[in-house]
A and B are shown apart, each in its own frame.
Chain A
Amino acid sequence: MIKISNLEKIYRTEDVETVALNKVSFDVKEGEFVAIMGPSGCGKSTLLNILGLLDDPDGGSFVFAGQEVAHYNERKRAGLRKQHIGFVFQSFNLIDELTVYENVELPLLYLKVGADERKKRVEEVLEKMQIMHRKNHFPQQLSGGQQQRVAVARAVVNRPRLILADEPTGNLDSINGNEVMQMLTELNDAGTTVIMVTHSEHDARYSHRIVRMLDGQVVLENVMI
């Protein structure tokens, strides 16, 4: 599903050049659950952003679902993103001015899904995430765990093929963290590919494979048994 080879990303300021990704190559198959680990600043979030088509690489190739997307423009990337990718962030990133329901509905609006279908799908996913009773609340009225459940609901409502999770349990206590990991596992079991950046060995154990990075490079790949 994903094939990257020799991917490069360099950040430049006036005096300093930082290599965030240094010829990174690896594949992710459809239905896989991959964890990316490594110390802070090793380039894992940069990699995730590129995989999520939020950022573009400076070199190398990125094939997503059979298409070379490394040099897609913003418009095309936005198109792919809304069709195929769901995001879960450490800090939840819900829109404070929108209710739980409206936050989850948002990706469907950009996909121009009809009102009835939208209602059906949002309610379905809210039920699944057990947050239906909070649908008219605003994010600030929810606990961290509930907010992350809303974020997961929003990530899956457009039925993406790929979920990218950036330290999804980083801001949660262990009980809520486990619940989120459980959800991601269930989604993966249902066929959705999951790529997760994490610092937590515990969380990484939910994955099929761990990709370890250091200084912008992939240094090790462990297959979980």
Chain B
Amino acid sequence: MLRNYFKIAFRNLLRNKGFSFINISGLAMGMASAILILMWIQHEFSYDKFHEKKDRIYQMWNRSVFDGKLQSWDFTPKVLGKTLKQEMPDIQEVSRVEIRSPFLLIVGDNKLRVPGGFVDPGFLTMFSFPVLKGDAKTALNNVYSIVITEKLAKSLFNDDNPIGKTIRIENKDNFIVTGLVKSPPTNSRFQFEYLLPWAYLTKIGWDDDYWGNNSTNTFIELKPHVNAEAFSTKVKDFTIKHSKGQEQNELFLHPLTKLRLYTQFEGKIAGGRIDLVKIFGLLAVFILVIACINFMNLSTARSEKRAKEVGIRKVVGAEKSTLIGQFLGESIMLAFIAGVFALALVQFFLPLFNSITDKQLTVQYTDIRFWIFLVSFILFTGVLAGSYPAFYLSAFQPVRVLKGVLKAAHTSFSPRKVLVVIQFAIAIVLIISTLFIKKQILFSQDRETGYSKDNLIYHFLTEDLVKKYPLIKNELLNSGAAVSVCKTSAPITEGWSNSWGFEWKGKDPKSKIIFNRFCVDDDLTKTIGLTITQGRDINLKEFPTDSTACLLSESAVRIMGFKDPIGQIVKDNSIDWHVVGVIKDFVLQSPFENTQPMVIEGAKGWFNVIHIKLNNANSTAQNIKTAEQIFKKYNFQFPFEYQFIDQEYAKKFNDAERTSKLISLFAALTIIISCMGLFGLATYMAENRIKEIGVRKVLGASVINITALLSKDFLKLIVIAILIASPIAYWAMSKWLQTFSYHINMQWWIFIASGILSILIAFSTVSYQAIKAAMANPVKSLRTE
């Protein structure tokens, strides 16, 4: 019996090549897209699930109310980790993790700057990064020990055994390699090439015992059978207690396995990246459903051709259930063929998908679970696509179909029309969303940053650069490569420090508004191009007391309530900073968010970065070459590693652009798949109405009349789809836009443009068939009857 089914299915496939092509390619595209998205989702869910003790590891988080809003964040005081370990017997192990600014590693002439950082010795026993050489328990016990990954070992020592070898760091201290670990997999939040002991951080004076300095991540491993919730309650007031009430941050535990996807809290876990995962999950379902709808529509549209077969089979004894089985079998077979093509498409498009998503996903051909997934997925698709046609076709009455009573009913409501409306409604929602996302990104990109990004570069300060800074600055200016130079605490594109601890005259003692903190020596406005609206820039040459001067942003002045801000004192870190000027707000962090109030402190602050405004009179290449020579002269052990501010700023849009690209890609796919279905339907419609068209033509209808007649029915459906999609897209987009403080307003032209676009696309899809049918010779079509 199965052979008989297969024979019929195959012969049908071959006989109706156009139909088969549309069905298989549509399903293959839909399945390939869904598989890619599912692979992406699976990767997102797999983050840090490979650690053996994953269920006992938690990150310590803070929460506190600022400006009336409960905020949660994962930076904790450096002192927290060691104090917890000392005082809480429920804790098995603790590690602070500080993987950020990379050091320069030197082995002979080999100099490398790769990601790495500081951890406590317990890190290697808490987390499951396989230690290939060395002892996980003791590898980081010595202050000058270093653990490196296989990849780094290969770069520094080729295939030699790295254990016991020396690596010089920042041209300052020598470290002995005490451990070799496997490189962290891509689905880990810890991406490092080397690990240094926390003790070294303490040694170079970067550690502190200040409960108000939330500056590091703290991970704990609970002992087996310790209840995390009960423990969370126990440590809730830990910071408050230890800071003797000076800090009001509550501590709570956040499971390691949820760190990737859940980062927003409203009393409990409220969201985070999981929202994006859900959106993409929905997208996968949509695309698959759209592809399946094509199958359903084309199968049922062709039902007149299959009806006779159903009738005969019933006459010779087939039961309805057998026929359902047969048709489901056919759709599953088709899904299998499509599945093979889908797998080829996945393989072909994976590099592109990886580059858009910034992942390194691979198809796990050798993993049995992948094949189980694939087969189940194909079966699911086959059943999803085939169920409606199977029930529809198997329900035919043999008496009626064998008499040829069954005719396509031109009713105002039919499941096929509903399905077309669903397809296009989804596609239109995606078109509207794509346009909104693109517009929002453009809007933020066009946003006035408040400073001049052109020809502006920065370089991180090394110890030598700090010492030789005045000489370097002078030489850069004298060489004509730079027009202005300044030292700052962070790149102008990043906010590294903030606080609610600033004090000023008239401050409400209960106020906990967060201000960004930024430091500069002088020449800030000249170098960065900020605008002074009141007072003047910090100027150490003319005003030596400006080492304790500060600038306020306009929003800071507003919040502090200064009528005349110049000369006011703002206290921070036990220093009285006197306000010498006010600057216009500028974008320091996210271009999608409103600017935060900001205090820019003078030369008494701390410095990590040098900003250089290159001279427009020379070519950039020439300026860079000159600057490199000067840096090499004073900082000869280190490479000249500069960054262009405009490029760094552009990176802020990477995530949004990635999402935008993906959504556009999938929107285009849904349109293509939907149009393929529409084309198929139009073909069958034209075939079915061939006699009617002939009669109309004989009676005097023109080609335009007939084309309009045939296209009208479909365009009506598209208009309904637009009416359904618009409010859904409006709701979704207004929700999405609300997640940005700096966002565009609802723009009606996007809805209208999307509507017109979908009508045009649909019209061009059906018009080919409509015109073809309209142009046909009526004598021929009438003779067929």
Contacts and interface: CB of A to CB of B under 8 A. Distances in A.
Interface of A: 45, 49, 52, 54-55, 74-75, 78-79, 81-83, 87, 89, 91, 93-98, 102, 105-107, 109-111, 154, 158
Given A54-B398, A89-B402, A102-B7, A97 B316 contact: no
B317 interface: yes
Interface string B184-225: 000000000000000000000000000000000000000000
Contact of A93 (B4, B11, B12, B315): B315
Contacts of B399: 49, 54-55
Contacts of A95: 8, 308-309, 312-313
A79 B314 CA distance: 10
A81 B314 CA distance: 9
A97 B315 contact: no
26 contacts: A49-B399, A52-B315, A54-B399, A55-B397, A55-B399, A75-B319, A75-B320, A78-B319, A81-B315, A81-B317, A82-B316, A93-B311, A96-B308, A97-B7, A97-B8, A97-B11, A98-B11, A106-B312, A106-B313, A106-B316, A109-B1, A109-B4, A110-B313, A110-B318, A110-B322, A158-B317
Interface in B4-45: 4, 7-8, 11-12, 15
A82 B317 contact: yes
Nearest to B2: A109
Contact of B314 (A78, A97, A111): A78
Contacts of B322: 110
Contacts of B311: 93
Contacts of B309: 95-97
A105 B312 CA distance: 13
Contacts of B317: 78-79, 81-83, 107, 110-111, 158
Q: Interface centre among A74, A83, A158, by most B CB within 10 Å?
A: A74
A111 B322 CA distance: 12
Nearest to B401: A93
B765 to A, nearest CB: 29
Nearest to A103: B312
B12 A97 contact: yes
A82 B397 CA distance: 16
Contacts of B319: 74-75, 78
Contacts of B398: 54
A93 B308 contact: yes
A89 B403 CA distance: 10
B312 to A, nearest CB: 5
Contacts of A49: 399
Contacts of A107: 316-317
A73 to B, nearest CB: 10
Nearest to A107: B316
A54 B315 contact: yes
A87 B315 contact: yes
Interface of B is mostly: helix
A94 to B, nearest CB: 7
A49 B15 CA distance: 32
Contact of B15 (A94, A97, A111): A97
Contacts of A94: 312
Nearest to A111: B317
B316 A154 contact: yes
Nearest to A92: B312
Contacts of A54: 314-315, 398-399
A91 B319 CA distance: 23
A105 B1 CA distance: 10
Interface in B367-413: 397-399, 402-403
A49 B593 CA distance: 75
B314 A98 contact: no
Given A54-B315, A107-B317, A110-B313, 8 more contacts: A52-B315, A54-B398, A55-B399, A81-B316, A93-B312, A97-B7, A102-B7, A109-B4
A19 B113 CA distance: 93
Contacts of A93: 308, 311-312, 315, 402
A98 B399 CA distance: 21
Q: Interface centre among B7, B15, B397, B398, by most A CB within 10 Å?
A: B398
A22 B124 CA distance: 91
A78 B12 CA distance: 26
Nearest to A97: B11
B8 A110 contact: no
Interface in B297-354: 308-309, 311-320, 322
Contacts of B318: 78, 82, 110
Q: Interface centre among A45, A81, A87, A97, by most B CB within 10 Å?
A: A97
Contacts of B315: 52, 54, 81, 87, 93
Contacts of B1: 109-110
Q: Interface centre among B311, B312, B318, B399, by most A CB within 10 Å?
A: B312
Nearest to B15: A97
B4 A102 contact: yes
Q: Interface centre among A55, A75, A105, A110, by most B CB within 10 Å?
A: A110
Q: Interface centre among A82, A83, A87, A95, by most B CB within 10 Å?
A: A95
Contacts of B316: 81-82, 87, 106-107, 110, 154, 158
A96 B309 CA distance: 8
A95 to B, nearest CB: 5
A75 B394 CA distance: 13
A43 B402 CA distance: 16
A121 B184 CA distance: 68
Nearest to B321: A75
Nearest to B322: A110
A98 B7 contact: yes
The 9 closest A-B pairs by CB, nearest first: A82-B317, A110-B317, A107-B316, A97-B11, A78-B319, A109-B1, A49-B399, A97-B8, A54-B399
